[in-house]
Amino acid sequence: MRRWLDFLYKASCWIGAGCIAMICLLVVCQVLLNLLDRFSTLLTGSAIGLTIPSYADFTGFLLAAASFLSLAYTLREGAHIRVVLLVSRLPKKVHSFIEVWCIGFGLMVSLYFTWYAAMLTYESYTYNDLSSGMIAVPIWIPQTAMLLGLVVLSVALIDELVAVCRGNTACYVGKGESLLAANRQAESVSSAVELEKEQKNV
């Protein structure tokens, strides 16, 4: 079960990363088409009018999909913003209770949004809602990506809640702090190297 859950979180994140890559590709292609239009205007006096139809809509849909599909993996990797200034100084039992309460509250919020996202997606599918761009995209398609991201996030929160209730440490604990510490260490090393170079130049 653990292996399958980890695969689910990573697969969801990789799909989100693929959406970001698609956004980059769309933007680069549109910039190149704009440059061709500029060259055409300079050479012939008129633009060709090259454009990717509804590319702004597509990038927006892909950004929403990337954001929601990455939620579960970033939660487990400690990349969500957590304020631990007070909690880190509490006794272990109190800290565990607050951790359970926070995860439980987050799970309730996630399930609430998952339910209403499902209702919204079903409504858009039922009424065949379409985007207003040059290419009419059924709205339920990008909404489905949002819904899937919320479902995976809810599964991740249930996973964390069960683990903490069993007395284990939440998998995200310490990861965000370790990342910040590594960044600070890298910055201090970089500063030391630059200072050493300046001293040698002097």
Instruction: Give the pLDDT band (50/70/90) at residue 132.
Output: confident
78 neighbors 175 (Cβ within 8 angstroms): yes
- 80 with 74: CB under 8 angstroms? yes
Rounded CA-CA distance 41/49 in Å is 10
pLDDT of 148-191, one tens digit each?
999 999 999 999 999 888 877 777 776 655 555 455 555 665 66
Task: Reply yes or no on whether the pLDDT at 71 is more than 90.
Answer: yes
Round the average pLDDT of the chain to a whole number and report it: 83
Express each pLDDT in 72-87 by its tens digit: 999 888 777 766 666 6
Q: What is the pLDDT of residues 52-67, one digit of tens each?
A: 888 889 999 999 999 9
pTM (two decimals): 0.79
CA distance 44 to 46: 6
- Helix orientation angle between 140-165 and 92-127, rounded to the nearest 10 degrees: 160
pLDDT one-digit tens code per residue, 18-27: 999 999 999 9
- Crossing angle (nearest 10°) for helices 140-165 and 2-44: 150
pLDDT of residue 186: 57
pLDDT reported for residue 191: 61
The SS3 assignment for 174 reads coil
More confident of the two residues 187 and 17: 17
